[in-house]
Structure 1
Amino acid sequence: MNDRKQRVLLNAQRLFIEKGFAATSVQDILDESKISKGTFYNYFSSKNECLMTILIQAHEVTTARREELLIGKDRTDKEVLAKQIVVRMEINRQYQLVPLFEAIFHSKDPELRNFIEKHHMAELAWLSRRLVDVYGKEAEPYVSDCAIMVVGMLKHFINVCVTGLKEDIDSFRLINFILRRTDSIILNMIKTKDKLLEEHAFLPYTEPFNNDSYSKEQILESLLSFSNSLEENQKGKQYADFLIDEIQSELPRIHLMESILLAFGETFTGTPAEKTAKELAFSITDYMNELQKQTR
Protein backbone atom coordinates (compact mmCIF):
# COMPACT_ATOMS: atom_id res chain seq x y z
CA MET A 1 0.00 0.00 0.00
CA ASN A 2 1.43 3.39 -1.00
CA ASP A 3 2.13 6.08 1.59
CA ARG A 4 -0.59 8.41 0.34
CA LYS A 5 -3.31 5.78 0.64
CA GLN A 6 -2.03 4.88 4.11
CA ARG A 7 -2.29 8.54 5.18
CA VAL A 8 -5.88 8.66 3.94
CA LEU A 9 -6.67 5.59 6.03
CA LEU A 10 -5.09 7.13 9.14
CA ASN A 11 -7.04 10.36 8.66
CA ALA A 12 -10.26 8.46 8.07
CA GLN A 13 -9.71 6.34 11.17
CA ARG A 14 -9.12 9.41 13.32
CA LEU A 15 -12.32 11.02 12.00
CA PHE A 16 -14.34 7.83 12.54
CA ILE A 17 -13.20 7.74 16.17
CA GLU A 18 -13.58 11.48 16.88
CA LYS A 19 -16.85 12.16 15.03
CA GLY A 20 -18.31 8.69 14.75
CA PHE A 21 -18.51 6.62 11.59
CA ALA A 22 -22.06 7.65 10.69
CA ALA A 23 -21.34 11.36 11.22
CA THR A 24 -18.16 11.31 9.10
CA SER A 25 -18.71 12.01 5.43
CA VAL A 26 -16.48 11.20 2.49
CA GLN A 27 -16.04 14.97 2.09
CA ASP A 28 -14.68 15.17 5.65
CA ILE A 29 -12.06 12.58 4.70
CA LEU A 30 -11.22 14.47 1.50
CA ASP A 31 -10.78 17.75 3.39
CA GLU A 32 -8.67 16.14 6.13
CA SER A 33 -6.49 14.28 3.64
CA LYS A 34 -6.33 17.10 1.07
CA ILE A 35 -7.21 14.80 -1.80
CA SER A 36 -9.78 14.89 -4.58
CA LYS A 37 -12.92 12.80 -4.72
CA GLY A 38 -11.45 10.95 -7.68
CA THR A 39 -8.37 9.96 -5.67
CA PHE A 40 -10.53 8.66 -2.81
CA TYR A 41 -12.67 6.53 -5.10
CA ASN A 42 -9.56 5.27 -6.82
CA TYR A 43 -8.53 3.88 -3.43
CA PHE A 44 -11.93 2.82 -2.06
CA SER A 45 -15.31 2.14 -3.63
CA SER A 46 -17.11 3.63 -0.61
CA LYS A 47 -16.79 4.89 2.94
CA ASN A 48 -17.70 1.37 4.05
CA GLU A 49 -14.75 -0.09 2.16
CA CYS A 50 -12.46 2.50 3.72
CA LEU A 51 -13.54 1.36 7.21
CA MET A 52 -13.26 -2.31 6.29
CA THR A 53 -9.74 -1.74 4.95
CA ILE A 54 -8.72 -0.31 8.33
CA LEU A 55 -10.04 -3.42 10.09
CA ILE A 56 -8.48 -5.79 7.54
CA GLN A 57 -5.09 -4.14 8.09
CA ALA A 58 -5.45 -4.65 11.84
CA HIS A 59 -6.40 -8.28 11.23
CA GLU A 60 -3.32 -8.80 9.06
CA VAL A 61 -1.05 -7.26 11.71
CA THR A 62 -2.64 -9.51 14.33
CA THR A 63 -2.10 -12.59 12.17
CA ALA A 64 1.52 -11.66 11.50
CA ARG A 65 2.32 -11.08 15.18
CA ARG A 66 0.64 -14.31 16.17
CA GLU A 67 2.62 -16.27 13.57
CA GLU A 68 5.82 -14.60 14.75
CA LEU A 69 5.16 -15.85 18.29
CA LEU A 70 5.01 -19.43 16.96
CA ILE A 71 8.33 -19.38 15.13
CA GLY A 72 10.62 -21.87 16.82
CA LYS A 73 8.06 -22.59 19.56
CA ASP A 74 6.01 -25.64 20.53
CA ARG A 75 2.45 -25.28 19.18
CA THR A 76 1.14 -27.20 22.21
CA ASP A 77 2.49 -24.61 24.67
CA LYS A 78 -0.45 -22.84 26.37
CA GLU A 79 1.78 -19.89 27.27
CA VAL A 80 2.26 -19.24 23.55
CA LEU A 81 -1.49 -19.46 22.95
CA ALA A 82 -2.12 -17.00 25.80
CA LYS A 83 0.35 -14.54 24.28
CA GLN A 84 -1.32 -14.93 20.89
CA ILE A 85 -4.74 -14.13 22.37
CA VAL A 86 -3.26 -11.06 24.07
CA VAL A 87 -2.09 -9.85 20.65
CA ARG A 88 -5.71 -9.29 19.57
CA MET A 89 -6.36 -7.19 22.66
CA GLU A 90 -3.16 -5.18 22.13
CA ILE A 91 -4.02 -4.49 18.48
CA ASN A 92 -7.54 -3.39 19.45
CA ARG A 93 -6.02 -0.87 21.86
CA GLN A 94 -3.21 0.21 19.54
CA TYR A 95 -5.53 0.81 16.58
CA GLN A 96 -8.41 2.08 18.78
CA LEU A 97 -10.70 -0.45 17.16
CA VAL A 98 -13.35 -0.81 19.87
CA PRO A 99 -15.25 2.37 18.84
CA LEU A 100 -15.16 1.19 15.22
CA PHE A 101 -16.52 -2.24 16.13
CA GLU A 102 -19.24 -0.61 18.23
CA ALA A 103 -20.18 1.69 15.33
CA ILE A 104 -20.61 -1.32 13.05
CA PHE A 105 -22.45 -3.30 15.73
CA HIS A 106 -25.04 -0.52 16.05
CA SER A 107 -25.18 0.04 12.31
CA LYS A 108 -28.08 -1.24 10.23
CA ASP A 109 -25.87 -1.46 7.18
CA PRO A 110 -26.00 -5.13 6.03
CA GLU A 111 -22.57 -4.92 4.33
CA LEU A 112 -20.87 -3.79 7.52
CA ARG A 113 -22.82 -6.18 9.74
CA ASN A 114 -21.88 -9.09 7.47
CA PHE A 115 -18.25 -8.00 7.54
CA ILE A 116 -18.04 -7.81 11.32
CA GLU A 117 -19.77 -11.18 11.64
CA LYS A 118 -17.10 -12.76 9.43
CA HIS A 119 -14.42 -10.99 11.47
CA HIS A 120 -15.78 -12.48 14.70
CA MET A 121 -16.23 -15.94 13.22
CA ALA A 122 -12.67 -15.87 11.84
CA GLU A 123 -11.37 -15.27 15.37
CA LEU A 124 -13.36 -18.27 16.63
CA ALA A 125 -12.04 -20.37 13.72
CA TRP A 126 -8.45 -19.43 14.57
CA LEU A 127 -8.96 -20.18 18.27
CA SER A 128 -10.58 -23.53 17.45
CA ARG A 129 -7.54 -24.59 15.43
CA ARG A 130 -5.15 -23.52 18.17
CA LEU A 131 -7.14 -25.40 20.81
CA VAL A 132 -6.64 -28.56 18.75
CA ASP A 133 -2.90 -27.81 18.71
CA VAL A 134 -2.86 -27.47 22.50
CA TYR A 135 -5.26 -30.23 23.54
CA GLY A 136 -4.68 -32.74 20.76
CA LYS A 137 -6.68 -34.44 18.02
CA GLU A 138 -9.10 -36.03 20.49
CA ALA A 139 -10.31 -32.52 21.42
CA GLU A 140 -11.23 -31.65 17.83
CA PRO A 141 -14.97 -32.46 18.09
CA TYR A 142 -15.30 -30.10 21.07
CA VAL A 143 -13.14 -27.08 20.23
CA SER A 144 -15.91 -25.10 18.50
CA ASP A 145 -17.90 -25.06 21.74
CA CYS A 146 -14.76 -24.31 23.78
CA ALA A 147 -13.68 -21.44 21.54
CA ILE A 148 -17.02 -19.70 22.16
CA MET A 149 -16.69 -20.27 25.92
CA VAL A 150 -13.13 -18.90 26.03
CA VAL A 151 -14.10 -15.74 24.10
CA GLY A 152 -17.27 -15.35 26.18
CA MET A 153 -15.40 -15.65 29.48
CA LEU A 154 -12.75 -13.20 28.30
CA LYS A 155 -15.27 -10.56 27.25
CA HIS A 156 -17.37 -10.83 30.40
CA PHE A 157 -14.40 -10.74 32.77
CA ILE A 158 -13.10 -7.61 31.03
CA ASN A 159 -16.54 -5.99 31.07
CA VAL A 160 -17.10 -6.67 34.78
CA CYS A 161 -13.58 -5.67 35.85
CA VAL A 162 -13.35 -2.48 33.78
CA THR A 163 -16.92 -1.15 33.82
CA GLY A 164 -18.25 -2.73 37.01
CA LEU A 165 -15.37 -3.02 39.44
CA LYS A 166 -13.41 -0.13 37.87
CA GLU A 167 -10.23 -2.19 38.09
CA ASP A 168 -7.46 -2.75 35.61
CA ILE A 169 -6.74 -6.38 34.92
CA ASP A 170 -3.60 -7.92 33.52
CA SER A 171 -4.60 -9.43 30.17
CA PHE A 172 -2.02 -12.23 30.20
CA ARG A 173 -2.93 -13.25 33.77
CA LEU A 174 -6.64 -13.25 32.88
CA ILE A 175 -6.18 -15.37 29.76
CA ASN A 176 -4.00 -17.89 31.61
CA PHE A 177 -6.72 -18.16 34.27
CA ILE A 178 -9.35 -18.81 31.58
CA LEU A 179 -7.17 -21.41 29.86
CA ARG A 180 -6.69 -23.22 33.19
CA ARG A 181 -10.48 -23.40 33.52
CA THR A 182 -10.66 -24.61 29.93
CA ASP A 183 -8.42 -27.55 30.89
CA SER A 184 -11.19 -28.95 33.07
CA ILE A 185 -13.98 -28.10 30.64
CA ILE A 186 -12.47 -29.68 27.56
CA LEU A 187 -11.21 -32.78 29.35
CA ASN A 188 -14.69 -33.37 30.77
CA MET A 189 -16.25 -32.87 27.32
CA ILE A 190 -13.87 -35.47 25.86
CA LYS A 191 -14.65 -37.89 28.70
CA THR A 192 -18.43 -37.51 28.44
CA LYS A 193 -18.50 -36.94 24.66
CA ASP A 194 -20.70 -33.92 25.33
CA LYS A 195 -20.87 -31.25 22.63
CA LEU A 196 -23.36 -28.75 21.23
CA LEU A 197 -21.96 -27.57 17.90
CA GLU A 198 -20.87 -29.75 15.03
CA GLU A 199 -17.19 -30.45 14.49
CA HIS A 200 -15.44 -27.79 12.35
CA ALA A 201 -18.39 -25.40 12.79
CA PHE A 202 -16.21 -22.41 11.91
CA LEU A 203 -14.36 -23.98 8.96
CA PRO A 204 -16.03 -21.69 6.34
CA TYR A 205 -14.62 -18.68 8.21
CA THR A 206 -11.01 -19.84 8.34
CA GLU A 207 -9.73 -16.82 6.40
CA PRO A 208 -12.55 -14.54 5.19
CA PHE A 209 -10.49 -11.48 4.26
CA ASN A 210 -7.97 -12.87 1.84
CA ASN A 211 -7.06 -16.16 0.26
CA ASP A 212 -3.35 -15.54 0.00
CA SER A 213 -1.43 -18.77 0.26
CA TYR A 214 1.99 -19.61 -1.01
CA SER A 215 2.93 -22.76 -2.87
CA LYS A 216 6.26 -24.51 -2.38
CA GLU A 217 7.40 -23.11 -5.74
CA GLN A 218 6.44 -19.53 -4.82
CA ILE A 219 8.25 -19.75 -1.48
CA LEU A 220 11.38 -21.12 -3.14
CA GLU A 221 11.30 -18.42 -5.80
CA SER A 222 10.99 -15.67 -3.16
CA LEU A 223 13.71 -17.21 -0.98
CA LEU A 224 16.12 -17.55 -3.90
CA SER A 225 15.56 -13.95 -4.91
CA PHE A 226 16.03 -12.83 -1.30
CA SER A 227 19.19 -14.93 -0.88
CA ASN A 228 20.71 -13.46 -4.04
CA SER A 229 20.26 -9.97 -2.61
CA LEU A 230 22.19 -10.77 0.59
CA GLU A 231 25.81 -10.55 -0.50
CA GLU A 232 26.57 -8.20 2.42
CA ASN A 233 24.76 -10.33 5.03
CA GLN A 234 26.48 -13.70 4.91
CA LYS A 235 24.80 -15.08 8.03
CA GLY A 236 21.36 -14.22 6.68
CA LYS A 237 22.30 -15.74 3.33
CA GLN A 238 23.41 -18.97 5.02
CA TYR A 239 20.07 -19.23 6.84
CA ALA A 240 18.15 -18.54 3.62
CA ASP A 241 20.15 -21.14 1.69
CA PHE A 242 19.62 -23.72 4.46
CA LEU A 243 15.85 -23.15 4.26
CA ILE A 244 15.94 -23.47 0.48
CA ASP A 245 17.75 -26.82 0.74
CA GLU A 246 15.30 -28.14 3.33
CA ILE A 247 12.19 -27.07 1.39
CA GLN A 248 13.58 -28.70 -1.75
CA SER A 249 14.33 -31.99 0.04
CA GLU A 250 11.91 -34.91 -0.03
CA LEU A 251 11.66 -34.98 3.77
CA PRO A 252 12.13 -31.45 5.20
CA ARG A 253 13.33 -31.50 8.80
CA ILE A 254 10.62 -29.38 10.39
CA HIS A 255 12.27 -29.14 13.83
CA LEU A 256 15.48 -27.77 12.28
CA MET A 257 13.58 -25.36 10.04
CA GLU A 258 11.73 -23.96 13.05
CA SER A 259 14.95 -23.18 14.91
CA ILE A 260 16.57 -21.69 11.81
CA LEU A 261 13.49 -19.55 11.09
CA LEU A 262 13.77 -17.92 14.50
CA ALA A 263 17.43 -17.04 13.87
CA PHE A 264 16.61 -16.04 10.30
CA GLY A 265 14.08 -13.44 11.48
CA GLU A 266 16.34 -12.08 14.22
CA THR A 267 19.23 -11.64 11.77
CA PHE A 268 17.35 -8.92 9.90
CA THR A 269 15.83 -7.08 12.88
CA GLY A 270 16.36 -3.34 12.47
CA THR A 271 17.57 -3.66 8.86
CA PRO A 272 15.84 -2.58 5.62
CA ALA A 273 15.23 -6.28 4.86
CA GLU A 274 13.33 -6.91 8.13
CA LYS A 275 9.84 -6.70 6.61
CA THR A 276 10.68 -9.02 3.70
CA ALA A 277 12.38 -11.52 6.02
CA LYS A 278 9.35 -11.64 8.33
CA GLU A 279 6.95 -12.10 5.42
CA LEU A 280 9.09 -14.99 4.20
CA ALA A 281 9.20 -16.49 7.69
CA PHE A 282 5.39 -16.33 7.97
CA SER A 283 4.88 -18.00 4.58
CA ILE A 284 7.40 -20.74 5.44
CA THR A 285 5.68 -21.29 8.81
CA ASP A 286 2.34 -21.75 7.02
CA TYR A 287 4.00 -24.18 4.61
CA MET A 288 5.48 -26.19 7.51
CA ASN A 289 2.09 -26.29 9.25
CA GLU A 290 0.56 -27.78 6.11
CA LEU A 291 3.33 -30.37 5.95
CA GLN A 292 2.70 -31.36 9.55
CA LYS A 293 -1.05 -31.72 8.91
CA GLN A 294 -0.32 -34.09 6.06
CA THR A 295 1.79 -36.34 8.29
CA ARG A 296 -0.69 -36.56 11.15
Structure 2
Amino acid sequence: MSSRKQSLLETALALFLEHSYANTTIQMILDQSGVSKGTFYKFFSSKEDCLYSIIDQRMQEDVFIRKELEQNHYTSDYALLVDQIAIPMSGPDKERVWELYWTGFYAGEINSAKLAKVHLNWLSTRLIQVYGKDISLYANEGAILCYGILHQIANTSRSLNTQKPVWSEVVPKVLTYIEVILRTMHQRNEHIFDVQSLYFLNADERNHDHGLDIDKLLEELDEFNKIVQKSKESTSLKQLSKGLLALLQDKEDLNIPVIEVVLQAFHKEYKSSAFHSEANRLTEACWWYLELVKHHN
Protein backbone atom coordinates (compact mmCIF):
# COMPACT_ATOMS: atom_id res chain seq x y z
CA MET A 1 0.00 0.00 0.00
CA SER A 2 1.33 3.45 -0.92
CA SER A 3 2.24 5.84 1.89
CA ARG A 4 -0.09 8.45 0.42
CA LYS A 5 -3.08 6.11 0.52
CA GLN A 6 -2.24 5.06 4.09
CA SER A 7 -1.98 8.73 5.08
CA LEU A 8 -5.42 9.42 3.58
CA LEU A 9 -6.90 6.48 5.49
CA GLU A 10 -5.43 7.71 8.79
CA THR A 11 -6.64 11.28 8.17
CA ALA A 12 -10.13 10.08 7.23
CA LEU A 13 -10.32 7.83 10.30
CA ALA A 14 -9.35 10.69 12.62
CA LEU A 15 -12.05 12.91 11.08
CA PHE A 16 -14.69 10.15 11.19
CA LEU A 17 -13.95 9.60 14.87
CA GLU A 18 -14.03 13.31 15.68
CA HIS A 19 -17.00 14.44 13.58
CA SER A 20 -18.75 11.11 12.80
CA TYR A 21 -18.92 9.50 9.38
CA ALA A 22 -22.12 11.32 8.37
CA ASN A 23 -20.71 14.76 9.25
CA THR A 24 -17.33 14.31 7.56
CA THR A 25 -17.07 15.45 3.95
CA ILE A 26 -14.52 14.54 1.31
CA GLN A 27 -13.46 18.18 1.26
CA MET A 28 -12.65 17.98 4.98
CA ILE A 29 -10.44 14.97 4.29
CA LEU A 30 -8.71 16.82 1.44
CA ASP A 31 -8.13 19.94 3.55
CA GLN A 32 -6.75 17.97 6.48
CA SER A 33 -4.51 15.71 4.41
CA GLY A 34 -3.35 18.35 1.93
CA VAL A 35 -3.94 16.17 -1.12
CA SER A 36 -5.87 17.00 -4.27
CA LYS A 37 -9.31 15.69 -5.16
CA GLY A 38 -7.75 13.78 -8.04
CA THR A 39 -5.42 11.95 -5.66
CA PHE A 40 -8.33 11.01 -3.40
CA TYR A 41 -10.32 9.56 -6.30
CA LYS A 42 -7.26 7.70 -7.52
CA PHE A 43 -7.57 5.52 -4.42
CA PHE A 44 -11.27 5.71 -3.48
CA SER A 45 -14.46 5.98 -5.51
CA SER A 46 -16.36 7.69 -2.67
CA LYS A 47 -16.35 8.54 1.03
CA GLU A 48 -18.04 5.19 1.68
CA ASP A 49 -15.29 3.40 -0.22
CA CYS A 50 -12.73 5.17 1.98
CA LEU A 51 -14.50 4.01 5.15
CA TYR A 52 -14.81 0.51 3.69
CA SER A 53 -11.03 0.46 3.15
CA ILE A 54 -10.42 1.51 6.76
CA ILE A 55 -12.68 -1.23 8.12
CA ASP A 56 -11.30 -3.82 5.69
CA GLN A 57 -7.79 -3.02 6.91
CA ARG A 58 -8.85 -3.44 10.55
CA MET A 59 -10.56 -6.74 9.71
CA GLN A 60 -7.37 -8.02 8.14
CA GLU A 61 -5.54 -7.11 11.34
CA ASP A 62 -8.17 -8.93 13.43
CA VAL A 63 -7.92 -12.11 11.33
CA PHE A 64 -4.16 -11.99 11.72
CA ILE A 65 -4.43 -11.59 15.52
CA ARG A 66 -6.83 -14.54 15.76
CA LYS A 67 -4.51 -16.75 13.76
CA GLU A 68 -1.56 -15.73 15.93
CA LEU A 69 -3.53 -16.62 19.06
CA GLU A 70 -4.20 -20.11 17.70
CA GLN A 71 -0.47 -20.78 18.05
CA ASN A 72 -0.62 -20.21 21.84
CA HIS A 73 -1.44 -22.87 24.40
CA TYR A 74 -4.91 -22.47 25.93
CA THR A 75 -6.58 -24.60 28.56
CA SER A 76 -9.71 -24.76 26.40
CA ASP A 77 -11.10 -23.68 23.04
CA TYR A 78 -13.47 -21.43 24.98
CA ALA A 79 -10.50 -19.54 26.51
CA LEU A 80 -9.08 -19.08 23.00
CA LEU A 81 -12.39 -17.71 21.75
CA VAL A 82 -12.52 -15.19 24.58
CA ASP A 83 -9.12 -13.82 23.59
CA GLN A 84 -9.96 -13.91 19.89
CA ILE A 85 -12.85 -11.54 20.58
CA ALA A 86 -11.43 -9.46 23.43
CA ILE A 87 -7.86 -8.77 22.27
CA PRO A 88 -8.74 -7.22 18.88
CA MET A 89 -11.31 -5.02 20.63
CA SER A 90 -8.70 -3.81 23.11
CA GLY A 91 -6.29 -2.36 20.57
CA PRO A 92 -5.76 1.41 20.10
CA ASP A 93 -8.78 3.01 18.42
CA LYS A 94 -10.25 -0.44 17.65
CA GLU A 95 -13.33 0.15 19.76
CA ARG A 96 -14.05 3.45 18.00
CA VAL A 97 -13.47 1.93 14.57
CA TRP A 98 -15.94 -0.83 15.28
CA GLU A 99 -18.38 1.75 16.59
CA LEU A 100 -18.16 3.43 13.18
CA TYR A 101 -18.66 0.11 11.47
CA TRP A 102 -21.63 -1.22 13.43
CA THR A 103 -23.32 2.19 13.66
CA GLY A 104 -23.01 2.59 9.90
CA PHE A 105 -24.20 -0.98 9.36
CA TYR A 106 -27.28 -0.64 11.57
CA ALA A 107 -28.15 2.80 10.17
CA GLY A 108 -27.69 1.69 6.57
CA GLU A 109 -25.16 4.49 5.98
CA ILE A 110 -22.60 2.12 4.48
CA ASN A 111 -23.00 -0.94 2.30
CA SER A 112 -21.04 -3.23 4.58
CA ALA A 113 -23.08 -6.40 4.19
CA LYS A 114 -20.15 -8.44 2.85
CA LEU A 115 -17.85 -7.43 5.69
CA ALA A 116 -20.60 -8.08 8.24
CA LYS A 117 -21.25 -11.52 6.83
CA VAL A 118 -17.59 -12.54 7.01
CA HIS A 119 -17.33 -11.28 10.59
CA LEU A 120 -20.56 -12.99 11.66
CA ASN A 121 -19.74 -16.24 9.88
CA TRP A 122 -16.39 -16.43 11.63
CA LEU A 123 -17.99 -16.07 15.06
CA SER A 124 -20.87 -18.43 14.28
CA THR A 125 -18.33 -21.10 13.23
CA ARG A 126 -16.38 -20.59 16.46
CA LEU A 127 -19.58 -20.82 18.56
CA ILE A 128 -20.32 -24.20 16.97
CA GLN A 129 -16.76 -25.36 17.66
CA VAL A 130 -17.01 -24.32 21.31
CA TYR A 131 -20.63 -25.23 22.14
CA GLY A 132 -21.21 -28.17 19.80
CA LYS A 133 -23.11 -28.95 16.61
CA ASP A 134 -26.46 -28.99 18.44
CA ILE A 135 -26.58 -25.18 18.22
CA SER A 136 -25.43 -24.96 14.59
CA LEU A 137 -28.85 -23.90 13.28
CA TYR A 138 -28.86 -20.95 15.68
CA ALA A 139 -25.17 -19.98 15.65
CA ASN A 140 -25.57 -17.09 13.20
CA GLU A 141 -28.17 -15.52 15.47
CA GLY A 142 -25.86 -16.08 18.44
CA ALA A 143 -23.09 -14.24 16.60
CA ILE A 144 -25.40 -11.30 15.84
CA LEU A 145 -26.52 -11.11 19.47
CA CYS A 146 -22.96 -11.37 20.79
CA TYR A 147 -21.59 -8.55 18.62
CA GLY A 148 -24.74 -6.51 19.24
CA ILE A 149 -24.39 -6.76 23.03
CA LEU A 150 -20.69 -5.89 22.92
CA HIS A 151 -21.42 -2.89 20.67
CA GLN A 152 -24.13 -1.61 23.02
CA ILE A 153 -21.88 -2.04 26.07
CA ALA A 154 -19.17 0.03 24.38
CA ASN A 155 -21.69 2.61 23.17
CA THR A 156 -23.35 2.97 26.58
CA SER A 157 -20.02 3.28 28.38
CA ARG A 158 -18.93 6.03 26.01
CA SER A 159 -22.28 7.88 26.14
CA LEU A 160 -22.32 7.90 29.95
CA ASN A 161 -18.60 8.72 30.20
CA THR A 162 -18.04 5.73 32.47
CA GLN A 163 -14.93 3.60 32.73
CA LYS A 164 -13.95 1.87 29.49
CA PRO A 165 -14.99 -1.81 29.55
CA VAL A 166 -12.31 -4.38 30.30
CA TRP A 167 -13.07 -6.69 27.41
CA SER A 168 -11.18 -9.64 28.87
CA GLU A 169 -13.75 -9.59 31.70
CA VAL A 170 -16.82 -8.55 29.71
CA VAL A 171 -16.51 -11.04 26.83
CA PRO A 172 -16.70 -14.21 29.02
CA LYS A 173 -19.87 -12.89 30.68
CA VAL A 174 -21.49 -12.12 27.33
CA LEU A 175 -20.54 -15.54 25.94
CA THR A 176 -22.08 -17.22 29.00
CA TYR A 177 -25.43 -15.57 28.26
CA ILE A 178 -25.12 -16.29 24.55
CA GLU A 179 -24.70 -19.98 25.36
CA VAL A 180 -27.85 -19.94 27.50
CA ILE A 181 -29.81 -18.30 24.66
CA LEU A 182 -28.50 -20.78 22.08
CA ARG A 183 -29.33 -23.79 24.29
CA THR A 184 -32.84 -22.41 24.86
CA MET A 185 -33.39 -21.81 21.14
CA HIS A 186 -32.31 -25.39 20.46
CA GLN A 187 -34.61 -26.81 23.13
CA ARG A 188 -37.58 -24.82 21.86
CA ASN A 189 -36.67 -25.29 18.21
CA GLU A 190 -37.32 -21.62 17.47
CA HIS A 191 -35.47 -18.73 15.85
CA ILE A 192 -35.32 -15.06 16.81
CA PHE A 193 -34.77 -13.68 13.33
CA ASP A 194 -37.04 -13.83 10.31
CA VAL A 195 -36.55 -16.24 7.42
CA GLN A 196 -35.20 -13.56 5.05
CA SER A 197 -32.43 -12.56 7.46
CA LEU A 198 -31.47 -16.18 8.06
CA TYR A 199 -31.38 -16.79 4.30
CA PHE A 200 -28.99 -13.87 3.85
CA LEU A 201 -26.68 -15.17 6.57
CA ASN A 202 -26.61 -18.74 5.29
CA ALA A 203 -26.74 -18.25 1.53
CA ASP A 204 -23.66 -18.39 -0.67
CA GLU A 205 -22.36 -15.16 -2.13
CA ARG A 206 -24.04 -14.38 -5.45
CA ASN A 207 -20.77 -13.42 -7.10
CA HIS A 208 -17.02 -13.72 -6.65
CA ASP A 209 -16.39 -10.22 -5.37
CA HIS A 210 -14.63 -11.06 -2.10
CA GLY A 211 -13.72 -7.48 -1.24
CA LEU A 212 -10.03 -8.20 -1.88
CA ASP A 213 -8.24 -8.08 -5.24
CA ILE A 214 -6.40 -11.42 -5.36
CA ASP A 215 -4.64 -10.47 -8.59
CA LYS A 216 -3.25 -7.36 -6.92
CA LEU A 217 -2.18 -9.44 -3.90
CA LEU A 218 -0.41 -11.92 -6.19
CA GLU A 219 1.36 -9.05 -7.96
CA GLU A 220 2.59 -7.71 -4.62
CA LEU A 221 3.71 -11.18 -3.50
CA ASP A 222 5.49 -11.73 -6.80
CA GLU A 223 7.32 -8.42 -6.49
CA PHE A 224 8.19 -9.21 -2.85
CA ASN A 225 9.48 -12.65 -3.85
CA LYS A 226 11.70 -11.20 -6.59
CA ILE A 227 13.28 -8.78 -4.12
CA VAL A 228 13.80 -11.51 -1.52
CA GLN A 229 15.38 -13.89 -4.05
CA LYS A 230 17.98 -11.22 -4.92
CA SER A 231 18.68 -10.44 -1.26
CA LYS A 232 21.10 -12.01 1.22
CA GLU A 233 18.29 -13.62 3.22
CA SER A 234 18.52 -17.31 4.13
CA THR A 235 17.60 -20.10 1.74
CA SER A 236 14.64 -21.08 3.94
CA LEU A 237 13.15 -17.58 3.73
CA LYS A 238 13.54 -17.57 -0.04
CA GLN A 239 11.91 -21.01 -0.31
CA LEU A 240 8.97 -19.96 1.87
CA SER A 241 8.43 -16.82 -0.19
CA LYS A 242 8.53 -18.74 -3.46
CA GLY A 243 6.37 -21.57 -2.12
CA LEU A 244 3.66 -19.29 -0.75
CA LEU A 245 3.41 -17.47 -4.06
CA ALA A 246 3.13 -20.74 -6.00
CA LEU A 247 0.37 -22.07 -3.72
CA LEU A 248 -1.71 -18.90 -4.00
CA GLN A 249 -1.28 -18.71 -7.77
CA ASP A 250 -3.25 -21.95 -8.08
CA LYS A 251 -6.52 -20.06 -7.59
CA GLU A 252 -8.73 -22.79 -9.06
CA ASP A 253 -7.55 -25.43 -6.60
CA LEU A 254 -6.43 -23.69 -3.41
CA ASN A 255 -5.10 -26.11 -0.81
CA ILE A 256 -6.07 -23.98 2.18
CA PRO A 257 -4.72 -26.26 4.98
CA VAL A 258 -1.28 -26.38 3.30
CA ILE A 259 -1.31 -22.63 2.62
CA GLU A 260 -2.11 -21.94 6.28
CA VAL A 261 0.85 -24.03 7.44
CA VAL A 262 3.19 -22.31 4.98
CA LEU A 263 1.79 -18.90 5.92
CA GLN A 264 2.46 -19.52 9.61
CA ALA A 265 6.03 -20.54 8.84
CA PHE A 266 6.41 -17.57 6.50
CA HIS A 267 5.37 -15.12 9.19
CA LYS A 268 7.50 -16.75 11.89
CA GLU A 269 10.65 -16.81 9.77
CA TYR A 270 10.30 -13.23 8.58
CA LYS A 271 9.83 -11.78 12.07
CA SER A 272 13.56 -11.19 12.44
CA SER A 273 14.34 -10.33 8.82
CA ALA A 274 14.88 -6.96 7.18
CA PHE A 275 11.60 -7.55 5.31
CA HIS A 276 9.55 -7.92 8.49
CA SER A 277 7.22 -4.97 7.91
CA GLU A 278 6.22 -5.86 4.35
CA ALA A 279 6.01 -9.57 5.16
CA ASN A 280 3.68 -8.80 8.05
CA ARG A 281 1.38 -6.74 5.80
CA LEU A 282 1.29 -9.47 3.15
CA THR A 283 0.61 -12.12 5.79
CA GLU A 284 -2.41 -10.17 7.05
CA ALA A 285 -3.74 -9.82 3.50
CA CYS A 286 -3.26 -13.55 2.84
CA TRP A 287 -5.08 -14.58 6.03
CA TRP A 288 -7.92 -12.25 5.11
CA TYR A 289 -8.14 -13.71 1.61
CA LEU A 290 -8.29 -17.26 2.99
CA GLU A 291 -11.05 -16.26 5.44
CA LEU A 292 -13.11 -14.81 2.61
CA VAL A 293 -12.60 -17.90 0.45
CA LYS A 294 -13.66 -20.19 3.32
CA HIS A 295 -16.88 -18.28 3.90
CA HIS A 296 -17.63 -18.20 0.19
CA ASN A 297 -17.40 -21.97 -0.17
Task: Output the TM-score relative to the length of structure 2.
Answer: 0.67
Deviations 1:6-43 (A, max 9, x none): 21222233233334444444333333323222222222
What are the ranges of 5 or more consecutive residues in structure 2 without an aligned counterpart?
Answer: none
Following superposition of structure 1 onto structure 2, how do residues 96-245 of structure 1 map, counting pairs within 5 Å?
A: 96-97=96-97, 100-101=100-101, 104=104, 113-159=109-155, 163=159, 166-197=162-193, 202-204=201-203, 210=211, 228=229, 232-234=233-235, 236=237
The structure number with the bigger radius of gyration is 1
Give the distance between the partners of 1:129 and 1:205, measured in 2 at CA.
15
Aligned residue identity for 2:29? I
Give the distance between the partners of 2:54 and 2:120, measured in 1 at CA.
20
Give the distance between the partners of 2:53 and 2:293, measured in 1 at CA.
28
Counting matched residue pairs gives 281
Give the distance between the partners of 1:34 and 1:164, measured in 2 at CA.
35
- Alpha-carbon offset, residue 143 of structure 1: 0.5
Identity %: 25
Give the distance between the partners of 2:284 and 2:53, measured in 1 at CA.
24
Following superposition of structure 1 onto structure 2, how do residues 17-96 of structure 1 map, counting pairs within 5 Å?
A: 17-71=17-71, 77-90=77-90, 93-94=93-94, 96=96
Task: Output the TM-score relative to the length of structure 1.
Answer: 0.67
Aligned residue identity for 2:234? N
Deviations 1:122-173 (A, max 9, x none): 4322211221232333331120222123223323444555655934431011
Give the distance between the partners of 1:226 and 1:203, measured in 2 at CA.
42
Give the distance between the partners of 1:31 and 1:286, measured in 2 at CA.
34
Q: Quick check: 1:265 aligned with 2:255?
A: no
- Alpha-carbon offset, residue 202 of structure 1: 1.4
Structure 1 residues 90 and 277: alpha-carbon distance in aligned structure 2, compared to 1, 3 A threshold: same
Aligned residue identity for 1:210? G
- Alpha-carbon offset, residue 210 of structure 1: 1.2
Structure 1 residues 106 and 66: alpha-carbon distance in aligned structure 2, compared to 1, 3 A threshold: closer
Equivalent residues of 1:240, 1:264 under 8 A apart: yes
Give the distance between the partners of 2:148 and 2:126, measured in 1 at CA.
17
What are the ranges of 5 or more consecutive residues in structure 1 without an aligned counterpart?
Answer: none
Give the distance between the partners of 2:241 and 2:175, measured in 1 at CA.
37
Aligned residue identity for 2:146? V
Equivalent residues of 2:124, 2:143 under 8 A apart: yes
Equivalent residues of 2:212, 2:289 under 8 A apart: no
- Alpha-carbon offset, residue 208 of structure 1: 7.4
